[in-house]
Structure 1
Amino acid sequence: MFLMAHPSSPSVVQSTTPVIASNLTDGVVDSCFFSTKKINVLLDDNNYLLWRQQVLLAIKTYKLQNFLDSRTARPSQLVIDDTRVSQENPEFARFEQQDSALASWLLSSVSPAILPYLIGLDTSAQIWNAFINLYGSKTTSHLMFYRMALHSQRKVDLSMKDLLMKIKGYCDSLASCGEVISELEHVTTILNGLSPDYESIITIITTSQVPYSV
């Protein structure tokens, strides 16, 4: 049985995600695959990587990744029985039922604004590939923008506090896109943004045997 609850908010879900529960063996779901499993964010234009992380963790927990792979071969729809009569293949019916359950769960985890892009897609793999096509290139462009902005920051007329806050802001933006900036790069970016007036401080930090943290 597949249960779906429709969220009232386009961005946050606490207990309204669909519930699917059952026994699991080697990535096979008997009747349903998530038991009171909640996705805390609905997919929108600004949270693809966060949403993707939560969805993939849930799917990997139940070993259902193959349903997202368009290369996964579906069982034959018909089989020939001992009397040489064509009948529906139980494995096909099982696969289709499970795939439809996962596809419905994926659709329930996106905001209403995204749903029109998914009209006509009825398999988990089709829906997943649509997400990649919609947000893959956008994420790359965001990463490039934030990284260029991070390394172009200069103190100039900014106060030290404002410089540090701007650099931290770009580090946080990169982290939201899945690229975590190390402490070393964070500190190096700050030092590169300082004017020659801070040369003595820069020398102390860069020659120190003890790594500095932000």
Structure 2
Amino acid sequence: MSWLLSSSSESILVGTVGLESSKVIWEALNIAFASQNGAKVMQHKLQLQTLKKGNMPMSEYLNKIKSLCDLLTSVGHGIDESDQVLHVLSGLGAEYNHVIVSVTSRLEPCSLREAHAILLSYENRLELSDGISTAGEIFSVNLTTQGPSSTFRRGGGNQNHRGRGFYANQFQGNRGRGA
């Protein structure tokens, strides 16, 4: 009993005042910490169930899921691998529907490691296609807004129209070419 009392902090001692045996003190501490542990379990499970990828990079999202699963494991409530995969997939947006269908419709369950690799690869593909469409949109905007006075230059263009830009050289027809 003296060891339990001497090794406890003041905040813990408050809950043990008046208790008469080490067994009773131990049970009181067990109940106090079990309720705190239960609250932590519920908090971590709720965070895991409600976590959404949103605008987070995939690697950050996957790390958050892993951290929450690790926290649950540390308090005695581990999440099995197939449930971890489902938690990962449930937090993804509609742009990942193709991957979700692919992973969930397999005959053999997808491992967590495979799911991570597939999702990271798919995110890279999305970023590449977004980059291509964004570059295409920028190029399209430049083509429509800059017109003949464009700052684009065509290497070795017609000397008579130097400085008038790419469009002047490109669409001038036979004018000024001595034809």
TM-score (normalizing by structure 1): 0.46
In the TM superposition, structure 1's runs of 4+ consecutive aligned residues that sit over 6 Å from their partners are none
Q: Which amino acid aligns with 1:135?
A: F
Which of the two has greater helix per residue? Answer: 2
Runs (5+) with no aligned partner, structure 1: 1-102
Q: Distance in 2 between matches of 1:182 and 1:198?
A: 23
Q: Distance in 2 between matches of 1:114 and 1:142?
A: 18
Q: CA deviation at 1:189?
A: 0.3
2:40 maps to 1:123: no
Q: Distance in 2 between matches of 1:183 and 1:107?
A: 41
Q: Distance in 1 between matches of 2:111 and 2:10?
A: 42
- Give the corresponding residue for 1:163: 61
SS at match of 2:32: helix
- Give the corresponding residue for 2:177: none
Percent pairwise identity: 36
Q: Render the CA deviation track for 1:50-95: whole Å, top value 9, x for unaligned.
A: xxxxxxxxxxxxxxxxxxxxxxxxxxxxxxxxxxxxxxxxxxxxxx
Matches within 5 A, 1:55-204: 103-107=1-5, 110-111=8-9, 113-204=11-102
Q: CA deviation at 1:134?
A: 1.9
More RCO (CA 8 Å, sep 6+) = 1
Q: Which structure has the greater CA radius of gyration?
A: 2
Q: Which amino acid aligns with 1:143?
A: V
Q: Which amino acid aligns with 1:159?
A: P
Q: Distance in 2 between matches of 1:108 and 1:181?
A: 37
Q: Aligned in 2, Cα 1:212/1:111: closer, same or farther, shift over 3 Å?
A: farther
Q: Which amino acid aligns with 1:172?
A: D
Q: CA deviation at 1:133?
A: 3.4
TM-score (normalizing by structure 2): 0.55
Matches within 5 A, 1:34-45: none
